[in-house]
Amino acid sequence: MYQSLTTRLLLLVCGLLPATVLAQAQLEEVIVTAQMRTQSLQDVPVSVSAVSGDKMLEAGIDKIEDLHAYVPNLTMSETGIGTSIYIRGIGSGINQGFEQSVGMYVDGIYYGRAQLSRAPFLDLARVEVLRGPQNILYGKNSIAGALSIVTQRPGEDSEGLVQIAYEPGHGEEVLDLVYGTPITDDLAIRFASRIRRMDGYMENLTMDRDEPGRDERTFRLSLRWDARDELTANFKIEQGSFDVAGRQVEIINDQISTSTLPFFAGRRYSEILDRTEFPSGSGSYPGNAPGPRIDIDEDASVLNIKQDFKRSSNGDFSVNDTTNLTMSWDLDAATGHYTFITGYLEYEFDEICDCDFTGGRVFKVGLYEKYKQYSQELRWLSEEGGAWEWIAGGYLQYNDLLFQDRIIIDSDVVPQLLNAADFVEGGARGDRDAGPHDNPADPFEVGGTGDAGNAVANLTSPRNFTGVSKLASVFAQGTWNMTELLRLTLGARVTFESKKGSRSLDYADLNGVSLPAGEVDTVSAISFGTERHSLKGKRTELQVSPLINLQWDATDNLMAYATLTRGFKSGGYDARSNADPSPALTPLNPNVAGCTDGNDADNCGQVSLVGTFEYEEEVATSFEAGFKSSLLDGAAELNAALFYTLYEDLQVSIFDGRLGFNVGNAAEAVTTGIELSGRLALSEN
C-alpha cells in the first residue's frame, strides 16, 4: 500500500518523462554528520535537510536568510533591532538577553547569539538543518532545532578557486579566493576569503541612496596536521566584518490618528510629520487660548506608506566584527573515536537604528554589543556494528556579554509634540508651570504653559546590560541494535548552568552627562514608558533532557522512526525592558508647584511603571514520527515527518507599545504539522 501511494505521487510529477531517462538517472547519496557519525541522510532518524557547499555556491546562497527557499520550515527574521531564526514556527523574540531557540553550530562551536546569524557564508562543505528539540548531541538551548554549519577542511590534494561576480542591477560585486594544498605529507593548509559589496535593492527616498548597502570581508586560515596515523589535529582562525548601511524595512500601513489635539485628529502619522504648523496665539486651542508654536516640516519622503521597495529614513548602519578560533583533535583508539574541540569566539557590533522608521527627525537608537565565549567539548564514539553503539561526552562553556543601547532625541520634533500635548491636557503631564523651564520668551511656551517637551530636549537614555554564564554538561546516547531491522536509542543530557545579570537605565544629555531627577523623569515615564533603575540577579539551573527513539528498516528502501524527547532552554535576564519590575512610583518632580511627598501622586506627575527583569526556563516536549524512502530504483527519494511539540513557559518578548520590550514566560504553545521533502533525478545531469 505504501509503495503504491508514493510511487503514484512521483509518477504524477514525472509522468511525461521517458522511462529510459529515469532508469539511467541515479540520485547522489547525501552524507551528513547530524548524529555525530558519518551517515547517509536517508539513515538518520531525524527530520533533517542538508545543502552542500557546491549547491550554495551555485545558487548564490550567501547567508542563513537565503536558505529558507531550500529548507522547509526554516525562516529568518531580520528587523531593525534584532534577528531571529525560526524552525517549525518557534524561535526567540527580539531581546539581546535571549539565546536563540534554534542553535547554530559552526564546526562544533556553539553560536548562540542572534547577531551572528547575520554573518555571511564562506567556503562551506554543507549546512545541515535539524528540526525539533536537539538537546542531547546539540546541547545548548537548541529547543526548536539546530543548524550545523561545516566548513571545508584542507584536503590531500592541491585545489583552488577564483570566482568573480558582478550584478549591475544592485551594484553587487563578489570576489571569492580559495586555495588549499599539502605542505608536507603530514601537514595541509587551506585559505579562503570573500570580499563582497552591494548597493542594495531598496531606495531610500530621504537620503537618495540604495539600501541595505553591504560591505563584507571574511578571511579564514585552516590547518590539518596528521600527527600520527590515528591522530589528526585541525586548527582554524577566522576573522570577518560585515557592515551594513540602511535597512530592508519600509512602512506599509499608517493609521489615522484619533488624537484629541486639533492639528493631529484625522491625520496620519506621516501627514503630521510632513506638515504641521500651528503658530502661537492662533486661538485654535480649546477656549481659543494661545498655545505653543508647532512647526514640523519633515522630508516629504515620509508620505510613502505603500510597499514598493522604497523607504524613508535618516540613515541606519550596523558595523560588525567577528573572530573565531577553533582547535580540534581526532583520535582513533581501540575503544572508539575521541574528539576534543576547543573554541574561542568573540564579536562586537555598533549600530544606529532610525527606529521611528521614517525620514522624520523624531528619534534614533544607538546599540552596542560585545561578546566573548570559551568552550571545550570532549566526545567519544564507540565502534559501529556491535550490539550497542554509544556517543558520550562532556561540555564546558563560559561567556561574557555587554549590551548597551540608548534612545537619542536630538531634534525639536518630539519636544514640540509633547509641548502641544501638555498644553491641551492642562498640565496633566506633571508640569504645573512653576519650574525653571518656564520662560515666556521661549517660542515653545508662549502663554506660559505647555513646556513638558523641553524636559526631554537633547535627551539620551543610556542603558547597560551585562550577562555572565557558566555551563557544564554531560551527555550519553546509546543505540541498541535489537535485530538487523530494529534499533532502539536512549539518550540524556544533564546540564548545570549559573548566570549573573545586571541592567541599569539613566537619563543623560547628548554628551552622556547624567541629568538630575525631576521633570525629565515625569515626562519620560508618561511619554516613553521609561524610568531610571539599577537591577542585579543571579540564578542557577539543573536540567535533564531525555530522548527515546525507535527505528525500523521496514524494507531495503524504507526506514520508519518515532522519537519522544524533552528539551530545555535556560532562563535568564531581560536586556530591553524600560522599567523596574516593582510597581514603584517615578521620582517626584520638584518643578511642580506645591508638590510634596504627601500630595496625591497624580497631581505630582508621578506614575507607576512595571517592567521585567528575570524570566524562567522554557520546556519542550516533542513527539515525531516519520519515514525515509528510496524509490524508482534509486532515482527518487520521498521523506515525511509528522510532529507535535508542546512548549511550556515559552519565553516571549512583547513590545510595550512605546519604546521597549518586556520578556516573560507564556503559558504554553503547540506546534504541529507534517513535512514532506523529496528528490527526483530527471536525468544524469
pLDDT digits (tens, 9 = 90+) for 446-472: 333 567 788 899 999 999 999 999 999
Q: Which residues pair with 475 in a beta bridge?
A: 393, 493
Place 226 in a pLDDT band, splitting at 50, 70 and 90.
very high
Please give the Cα distance from 224 to 107 (Å, whole number).
Answer: 14
Place 235 in a pLDDT band, splitting at 50, 70 and 90.
very high
Place 199 in a pLDDT band, splitting at 50, 70 and 90.
very high
* Burial readout 653-666 (b: 16 or more C-beta within 10 A, e: otherwise): beebeebbbbbbbe
In this structure, are strands 231-245 and 213-228 parallel, antiparallel, or unpaired?
antiparallel
Please give the Cα distance from 239 to 197 (Å, whole number).
Answer: 17
Q: Which residues pair with 473 in a beta bridge?
A: 395, 495
If one counts every other C-beta atom within 10 angstroms of the C-beta of residue 451, the result is: 27
pLDDT at 316 over 80: yes
The predicted structure's pLDDT at residue 261 = 67
Place 523 in a pLDDT band, splitting at 50, 70 and 90.
confident
pLDDT at 648 over 70: yes
Please give the Cα distance from 240 to 111 (Å, whole number).
Answer: 15
pLDDT digits (tens, 9 = 90+) for 84-121: 889 998 888 778 888 888 989 999 999 888 888 888 88
Report in angstroms the alpha-carbon separations of 378 from 37, 344, 392, 625. 15, 15, 8, 31
Please give the Cα distance from 322 to 339 (Å, whole number).
Answer: 25
Least confident of 10-14, 65-69, 411-415: 10-14
Q: Greater confidence, 458 or 426? A: 458
What is the share, in percent, of the chain residues with pLDDT greater than 70? 86
The predicted structure's pLDDT at residue 600 = 47
DSSP state, residue 608: B
Q: Greater confidence, 449 or 439? A: 449
Nearest residue to 587 via CA among 647, 680, 525:
525
Q: Greater confidence, 8 or 684? A: 684
The predicted structure's pLDDT at residue 344 = 96
The predicted structure's pLDDT at residue 60 = 83
The predicted structure's pLDDT at residue 215 = 94
The predicted structure's pLDDT at residue 382 = 94
User: What DSSP line would sit under 293-349, residue for residue?
Assistant: -EEE---GGGG--SSSSEE--S--EEEEEEEEEEEEEEEEETTEEEEEEEEEEEEEE
The predicted structure's pLDDT at residue 529 = 87
Q: Greater confidence, 287 or 209? A: 209
Alpha helices per DSSP H over 15-109: 19-24, 53-59
Q: Which residues pair with 664 in a beta bridge?
A: 652
Contact 629, 582 (CB under 8 A): no
Amino acid at 684: E
Cell readout for 315 is: 540613515
Could you tell me how far CA 274 lies from the centroid of its own chain? 34
Cell readout for 272 is: 503630521
Q: Greater confidence, 423 or 431? A: 423
| Longest distance between any two alpha carbons in the chain, whole Å | 95
| CA distance between the termini of the chain | 32
The predicted structure's pLDDT at residue 436 = 34
The predicted structure's pLDDT at residue 439 = 39
Place 605 in a pLDDT band, splitting at 50, 70 and 90.
low
Q: Greater confidence, 262 or 323? A: 323
pLDDT digits (tens, 9 = 90+) for 124-162: 999 999 999 998 988 788 899 999 999 999 999 999 999
Alpha helices per DSSP H over 395-435: 413-424
Please give the Cα distance from 321 to 217 (Å, whole number).
Answer: 10
Place 24 in a pLDDT band, splitting at 50, 70 and 90.
low
pLDDT at 515 over 90: yes
Contact 296, 272 (CB under 8 A): yes
Report in angstroms the alpha-carbon separations of 353 from 95, 364, 658. 15, 6, 16
